[in-house]
């Protein structure tokens, strides 16, 4: 028994580690692909060189992010079988096809349009190139669609029946459009846009702080500040709606997020901070506001929220983790909102590009999109424990019959390899960003890529950027 639980913990750590590193790169590509669409659209419309310059610059970074996402995704495609053979045996008939579709979609996108977008400047007309960029952005959202359909189905499963303990799909439309899917898809897509915006804004702030204030840098900064002003409140509304959905389908997750143990009558208070203790079944050092919990989670003054004690101890998610991961996410959101509003005020006063403390703030907020994204995923994934398919299959029954030595060894190997490889990738992205959009002459960039054929290089997006990595 001890052996099994060790394997379970190690396998979960491994999955958490590999997917947390992986998700960063797709989020960057989803966000930046759509940003490229906006830039190219503005360029075609206005003919201003600055949009083209920015488009070239950010498409390079998009390409490196995309390449890293593909590489780190390969591991995921095999991890389900290697570490989670119970899950793939019982639920593979639903989860497997959805992931197969994601892979097929992603390759379709690569085979078709990525090459034109990255290397086709000289070969196709401006309109066709714009179409390719739009389709690449759409393709990244299609991948998001399939991955989130799969994840949401695991959170709120429907459209299947059990035959001999194995899941057999009945209705694919019900499986894909399961109750939590629309909320999760919207929440994740906006999150990816916010990741893009915070990175673009942070990068531009760094250049402004270093006294470089060319038109490209100012434009990036302005667009990012505007995007955050719009996206942060929308994301909070989307998150709120997602929360209502979760309260309906996964009440234990909501109780754990709020560190709520008792079902309070006549209105639930909200714990602002505190330390949920799973063993003592109470939240220590809690600072709470009466009725606020009901107000936020039920949108009424005295709506009822079920406390954790209504669920058997073996069915409770770890409140200590999700209480704090949720608050980190919300904290980031509030800071983003502040960033957006301050940006608006400075913009109205014509001080957007020369307010030093605001640039420091924007630079510090550069990683905030990624932090919020990962904190949000931890909340939803730890919050649905101890289930891997909610109410159907326990995580403990999903793990492979492996020894803890095996899983521990592979975890260590993967940590070393990932830190080396994706550390290098992240370093290269930062290095490209540090060069800035003004440093690269677009015409020379086109020339460097002119000898490349779009026929094949599309599958090597990382060859888009030609800047040296160690000089």
Partner 1 sequence: MTLDLPTIWAGIIGLGVFLYLLLDGFDLGIGLLFPFFDREGEREVMLNTVAPVWDGNETWLVLGGACLYGVFPVAYSTLLPAVYLPVIAMLCGLIFRGVAFEIRAKARRTQNLWDLAFIMGSATAAFCQGVILGTLLQGIKIVDGRFAGDAFDWVSPFSVFCGLGLLVTYATLGCGWLVLKTEGDLQRRTRKLLKPASLVMLAVIGVISLWTVIGQPAVAHRWFGGHNFVYFAPVPLLVLGCVIGIFRAADTGHEARAFVLMEAIIFLGYSGLLISIFPNIVPPTLSIWDASAPRSSQLFVLVGALIILPIILVYTAFAYWVFRGKVRHGDEGYH
Residue 137 or 175: which CB sits closer to partner 1? 175
Q: With CB under 8 A as the contact rule, which of the stretches 169-177, 306-314, 323-331, 377-385 interacts with partner 1?
A: 169-177
CA distance 20 to 371: 10
CA distance 133 to 128: 9
Q: Binders of partner 1 among 96-135, rule CB under 8 A?
A: 96-97, 99-105, 107-108, 111-112
Residue 441: phi, psi to the nearest 5?
A: -80, 115
Q: With CB under 8 A as the contact rule, which of the stretches 121-129, 214-222, 313-321, 455-463 interacts with partner 1?
A: 455-463
Tell me: does residue 453 bind partner 1 (CB under 8 A). yes
CA angle centred on 234, ends 183 and 44, rounded to 5°: 105
Residue 234 or 416: which CB sits closer to partner 1? 416
Q: Which of 218, 291, 435, 460 binds partner 1 (CB under 8 A)?
A: 460
Q: Could you count the other beta carbons within 10 Å of the beta carbon of residue 197?
A: 28
Q: Where are the beta strands (DSSP E) in 293-352?
A: none
Cβ neighbourhood burial of 381 (10 Å; 0-12, 13-18, 19+):
buried
Tell me: does residue 401 bind partner 1 (CB under 8 A). yes
CA distance 115 to 132: 9
Residue 22 or 207: which CB sits closer to partner 1? 22
As given in the structure block, the two tokens for residue 153 are 């189905």
Q: Could you count the other beta carbons within 10 Å of the beta carbon of residue 418?
A: 18
CA distance 322 to 281: 15
* Number of residues counted as binding partner 1 (CB under 8 A): 69
Shortest approach of partner 1 to residue 468 CB, angstroms?
Answer: 5
Element (H, E) at 167: strand 166-169
| 458: DSSP letter | T
Question: Between 55 and 94, how does the x/- string for binding to partner 1 read (CB under 8 A)?
Answer: ------------x---xxxxx-xx-xxx--xx-xx--xxx
Tell me: does residue 172 bind partner 1 (CB under 8 A). yes
Residue 336 or 411: which CB sits closer to partner 1? 411
**Contact set with partner 1 (CB under 8 A):** 67, 71-75, 77-78, 80-82, 85-86, 88-89, 92-97, 99-105, 107-108, 111-112, 163, 168-170, 172, 400-403, 405-406, 409-410, 413-414, 417, 421, 424-425, 428, 451-453, 455-457, 459-460, 462-463, 465-471
């Amino acid at each position: 028994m001890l052996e099994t639980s060790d394997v379970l913990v190690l396998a979960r750590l491994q999955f958490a580690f590999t997917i947390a590193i992986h998700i960063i790169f797709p989020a960057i590509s989803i966000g930046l692909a759509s940003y490229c669409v906006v830039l190219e659209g503005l360029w075609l419309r206005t003919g201003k060189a600055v949009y083209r310059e920015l488009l070239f610059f950010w498409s390079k970074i998009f390409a490196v992010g995309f390449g890293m996402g593909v590489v780190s995704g390969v591991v995921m495609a095999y991890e389900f079988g290697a570490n989670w053979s119970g899950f793939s045996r019982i639920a593979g008939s639903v989860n497997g096809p959805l992931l197969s579709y994601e892979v097929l979609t992603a390759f379709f996108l690569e085979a078709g349009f990525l090459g034109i977008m990255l290397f086709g400047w000289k070969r196709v007309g401006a309109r066709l190139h714009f179409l390719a960029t739009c389709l690449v952005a759409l393709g990244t959202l299609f991948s998001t669609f399939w991955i989130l359909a799969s994840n949401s189905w695991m959170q709120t499963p429907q459209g299947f029946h059990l035959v001999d303990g194995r899941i057999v799909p009945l209705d694919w439309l019900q499986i894909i459009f399961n109750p939590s899917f629309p909320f999760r898809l919207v929440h994740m897509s906006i999150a990816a846009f916010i990741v893009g915006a915070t990175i673009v804004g942070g990068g531009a702030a760094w250049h402004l702080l270093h006294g470089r204030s060319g038109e490209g840098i100012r434009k990036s900064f302005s667009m990012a500040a505007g995007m955050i002003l719009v996206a942060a409140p929308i994301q909070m509304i989307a998150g709120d709606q997602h929360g209502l959905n979760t309260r309906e389908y996964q009440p234990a997750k909501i109780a754990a997020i709020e560190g709520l143990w008792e079902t309070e009558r006549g209105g639930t208070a909200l714990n602002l901070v505190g330390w949920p203790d799973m063993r003592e079944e109470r939240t220590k050092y809690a600072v709470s506001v009466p009725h606020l919990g009901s107000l936020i989670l039920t949108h009424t003054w005295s709506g009822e929220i079920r406390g954790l004690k209504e669920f058997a101890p073996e069915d409770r998610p770890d409140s200590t983790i999700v209480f704090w991961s949720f608050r980190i996410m919300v904290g980031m959101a509030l800071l983003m909102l502040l960033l957006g509003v301050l940006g608006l005020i400075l913009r109205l006063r014509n001080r957007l590009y020369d307010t030093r403390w605001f640039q420091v703030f924007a630079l510090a907020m550069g990683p905030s999109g990624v932090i919020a994204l990962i904190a949000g995923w931890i909340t939803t994934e730890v919050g649905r424990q101890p289930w891997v398919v909610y109410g159907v299959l326990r995580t403990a029954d999903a793990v492979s019959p492996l020894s803890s030595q095996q899983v521990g060894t592979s975890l260590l190997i993967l940590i070393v390899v990932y830190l080396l490889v994706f550390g290098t990738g992240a370093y290269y992205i930062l290095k490209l960003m540090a060069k800035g959009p003004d440093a690269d002459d677009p015409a020379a960039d086109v020339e460097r890529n002119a000898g490349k054929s779009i026929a094949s290089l599309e599958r090597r997006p990382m060859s888009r950027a030609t800047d040296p990595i160690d000089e």
